[in-house]
């Protein structure tokens, strides 16, 4: 009974994890149902308040057209969440199986994948984005595809390297000695043991996605208005940072904090998934 309780306690998230989970839930609500946080319309213009400072009506002030910045940030959450989640999700859905197979069977598949990955990695992502956007135009799906392609080699190479490391461990040989099927060894021992390391990377990539989206918007090849992303807000804000510093600071902070929180989340996730690092 006692061991049971301690086992449950071990599985319990720490205080910092609780805070992050709450923030994550709030962000999810903002993305799915922004009205929960603001009654305003992100595109409603108040001609009497252009680049106004913070007030009770406009918590973070208004932008150059007189729209409420706070409302626009809240409404920008959805696209940023979608872009980061889907791009990283696709990269994982494709990259983990590829890396696993390459690391397990090695051989020609491994060789081809490693070279392809190195090729993609060597290509500057912003240049890649400019090329693709130039031929396909900007849209959320295009951006997601670009980011997924950019993240794919990182995920594949990580899964491959971790698989190879795990395969060299005694327990994989021991599992073969006991007579487990290869498929079982891969899913039970290998996948299970590379998951923590894979999980650490996912929030890092999501934070990269947010930052890359912001920089692409800044270059004018991001998501186009009227769609709102944090990156597009940052671009607008940067034009008026002298008149309204709070505009730039608040949007910039949102991007920075989101990226930083994701990094912290990555570490916590890996800690939680790894019984050796769990307190």
Smallest separation, CB 274 to another protein (Å): 8
Query: Which C-beta is closer to another protein: that of 56 or that of 168?
Result: 168
Instruction: For the CB of residue 175, give the shortest distance to another protein in the complex, in Å.
Output: 7
Query: Whose Cβ is closer to another protein: residue 175's or residue 262's?
Result: 175
For residues 226 and 124, give the distance between their C-alpha atoms in angstroms, rounded to a whole number.
28
**Cβ proximity to another protein, 57 vs 184, nearer residue:** 184
Measured from the CB of residue 115, what is the shortest distance to another protein in angstroms? Answer: 12
Least distance (Å) from another protein to the CB of residue 177? 4
SS3 68: strand
Q: Which residues have CB under 8 Å from 138's CB, separation 6+? A: 221, 222, 223, 224
Whose Cβ is closer to another protein: residue 35's or residue 278's? 278
CA–CA distance, 195 with 17 (Å, rounded to integer): 18
Q: What is the DSSP string of 151-181?
A: HHHHHHHHHHHHHHHHHTSHHHHHHHHHT--
Terminal Cα distance for the chain, rounded: 19
Angle of helix 192-218 relative to helix 69-105, nearest 10 degrees, comes to 140
> What is the rounded radius of gyration, in angstroms, for the C-alpha atoms of the chain?
22
- The DSSP secondary-structure symbol of 186 reads I
Work out how close the CB of 158 gets to another protein at its nearest, in angstroms, rounded to a whole number.
18
Q: Which is nearer to another protein, 6 or 243 (CB)?
A: 6
Nearer to another protein, 70 or 104 (CB): 104
Chain positions contacting another protein, by CB under 8 A: 3-4, 7, 169-171, 173-181, 184, 188-189, 192-193, 274-276
Helix (H, G, I), strand (E, B) or coil at 137: coil
122/276 with CB nearer another protein: 276
d(CA 75, CA 73): 5
User: Hey, which residues does 68 pair with through a beta bridge?
Assistant: 62
**Least distance from C-beta 181 to another protein, angstroms?**
7
CB atoms under 10 Å from CB of 210, counted, come to: 24
- State the nearest-atom distance from the C-beta of 276 to another protein, in Å: 6
- Torsional sign, CA 139, 231, 39, 241: negative
């Amino acid at each position: 009974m006692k061991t049971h309780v301690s086992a449950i306690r071990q599985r319990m998230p720490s205080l910092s994890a609780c805070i992050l989970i709450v923030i994550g839930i709030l962000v999810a609500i903002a993305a799915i149902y922004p009205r929960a946080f603001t009654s305003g319309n992100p595109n409603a213009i108040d001609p009497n308040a252009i680049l106004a400072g913070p007030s009770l009506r406009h918590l973070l002030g208004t932008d150059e057209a007189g729209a409420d910045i706070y409302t626009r940030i809240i409404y920008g959450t959805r696209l940023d969440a979608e872009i980061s989640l889907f791009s990283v999700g696709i990269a994982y859905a494709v990259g983990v199986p590829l890396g696993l197979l390459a690391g397990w069977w090695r051989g020609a598949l491994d060789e081809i994948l490693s070279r392809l990955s190195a090729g993609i990695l060597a290509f500057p992502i912003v240049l890649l984005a400019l090329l693709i956007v130039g031929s396909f135009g900007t849209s959320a799906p295009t951006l997601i595809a670009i980011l997924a392609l950019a993240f794919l080699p990182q995920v594949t190479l990580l899964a491959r390297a971790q698989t190879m490391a795990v395969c060299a461990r005694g327990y994989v040989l021991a599992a073969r000695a006991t007579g487990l099927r290869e498929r079982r060894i891969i899913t039970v021992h290998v996948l299970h043991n590379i998951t923590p390391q894979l999980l650490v990377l996912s929030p890092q990539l999501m934070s990269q996605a947010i930052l890359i989206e912001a920089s692409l918007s800044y270059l004018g090849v991001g998501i186009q208005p009227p769609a709102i992303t944090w990156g597009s807000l940052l671009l607008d804000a940067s034009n008026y940072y002298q008149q309204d510093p709070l505009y730039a600071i608040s949007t910039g902070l949102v991007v920075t904090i989101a990226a930083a929180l994701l990094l912290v989340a990555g570490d916590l996730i890996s800690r939680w998934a790894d019984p050796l690092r769990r307190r």
